[in-house]
Copies of this chain bind each other. A is one copy, B any other.
């Protein structure tokens, strides 16, 4: 700043703030010496700043392209299909306000004082009952912790199980947030290509054979981020069998599970788990509110100790007030109806986007029809790179995320681009897809 100030002063020949009474016109030599001194001191000052050496584990991880795009989407007059925000109209705002007032009015200290690392006991009990009934989970052999969002499920699991250099197998494309978590512990990612009904099973078995020491398979079987694909029951069984055969743990990430608006329910992989092999990650972000930063982790009891330690070392415990609000809401309000209403919102937005895509996109652009969740991925014809397409679309005012962001090796090309339908308004969906559609016709000759 001093440098800029002096330089500025030098070129304008003016003083500033009355502190230095010199000007180029009046005493040029003196001033030039003065200026030189400041330039040198700036140089010296920069020289003595500490140079940090970033840890190996983080050196290879880039900031989330999506969260950077999110800022772009928020700051410019742009139609954003780039984010992954749940639809704000589904947040039970009034009820949250009501329960917060009740809790903070009646018993503030218990909601504001340090809580347990494992989570708020009443919410843990509620979720156990809920998952026992709804998903058939076995809490004789499993434990449930409340953690700080779905992201922390991946963070704690990786911290506890994955050494630097260990292989993590993952669907490809896959949720980049968790890929970055694995990378941030020095894991080596091996991608298993996705098909319309889940991972390519042969590729999975090949990868398991080729990586006998792989620690974890990462999957979002329902309404996958980024593709919107739901893994079929048959493939879920096959995935579980193979992981048993090759003795590898599964991280089943199910943040969108409650948001099914079409098709038949498919049992979770965790519900098939007789060997304590599946670590199940759930989230309150899509059924309550993302800024609660609450999720839950279900795992074989043998992991209770290490995961407690992992949680203590990371953020001690998750916010108690929001755990209280979730618990009160699930038990004393109409949670089922809330979910039903939310699903309708997502169904409407998804169907609208799909209709527009069918109408506007060049016929050689392919895409599936999600049965739930927040995302769909569209694919340009084989061999095309979606990155320049997405860039050009941004120039025209529409944001989406290039598929390469979701690859195990981000330097590879992808012909896919991810579209989020939960955040934009109906008008934005119609207009944005129209713009993208025109671009597909220009792009595909």
Contacts and interface: CB of A to CB of B under 8 A. Distances in A.
Contacts of A394: none
A159 B140 contact: no
Nearest to A324: B291
Interface stretch (A10-18, A177-185, A340-348): A177-185
Given A155-B314, A159-B184, A162-B55, A112 B309 contact: no
A396 interface: no
Nearest to A302: B52
A427 interface: no
Nearest to A316: B151
A61 B306 CA distance: 8
Interface residues of A, number: 91
A203 interface: no
Given A161-B55, A163-B55, A315-B151, A108 B96 contact: yes
A313 B181 contact: yes
Contact of A48 (B64, B275, B291): B275
Contact of A292 (B50, B57, B112): B112
A7 interface: no
A312 interface: yes
A260 interface: no
A289 interface: yes
12 contacts: A48-B275, A52-B249, A58-B159, A58-B309, A61-B309, A70-B114, A91-B108, A93-B104, A93-B112, A180-B313, A181-B313, A314-B314
